[in-house]
Amino acid sequence: MSVEALPTTAQVARDRTIERWRRRSRVIRVLRVLGPASIAAILLGLVVSVALNAIKPTAEPSQESNQPIRLIKPHFQGRDGRGRAFVVTAITATRDPQEYQKVYLDHPDLVTDIQGPDPTHITSRSGIFHENTGVLEASGDVRMADSKGVFQTEASVFDTKTGQLSGSGPVHGQGALGQIDATSYGVYDKGDQMEFHGRVHTVLNPKQKPAGR
């Protein structure tokens, strides 16, 4: 009967080391094969991505920066050439995206000399207010009212700096003294001076006599 010698501890360790080296060698051989293939695949993917981006239609730039600015219940305040305060309000206001100082108003309401004893109201269906010049272009059922009377027309231009109001369309005015109609007009110095032109027609109210006479 033969007896096989058992491996020593040193032999076992050596065999394990050899086995590890063999496994590592196999891994290295696999990497040598797959490495270049992986690099080629990555490069191919980059080339395809660049090509797709080159032929993909370019999206149009966002237009949000050019969208008009819309204000709810705006208030524009200032003073005229004599230091009298005025205020312009509206239901809504929309700034012109191309001209920031130009504001489109929905049902504007201009009040001049708001701190004085006889403020003037100018209202209309629509209007354009130029903040840099203080000019209000009112259109559609324009109405100017103060303690002296009421004037109605379809279009007016009011300069808040000088207090001048002018228009080239028909105007109808009514006050304590009577009525007046004309085809064009001008109101200056907050109503202290008025000029009417073209087919001027007036109706004066008779002066009332004091009671008892």
Q: What is the pLDDT of residue 92?
A: 96
Q: Is 148 exposed, middle or buried (CB count within 10 Å of its CB: 0-12, 13-18, 19+)?
A: middle
In this prediction, residue 85 carries a pLDDT of 92
- What CATH number belongs to 69-204? 2.60.450.10
| Mean per-residue pLDDT pooled into runs of 10, the chain (213 residues) | 57 70 69 64 70 55 65 92 91 93 96 88 96 94 88 91 84 83 77 74 71 56
Looking at residue 126, what is its pLDDT?
Answer: 97
Q: Where are the domains of the chain?
A: 10-55, 69-204
71, 94 Cβ separation under 8 angstroms: yes
| Intra-chain end-to-end CA distance of the chain, in Å | 167
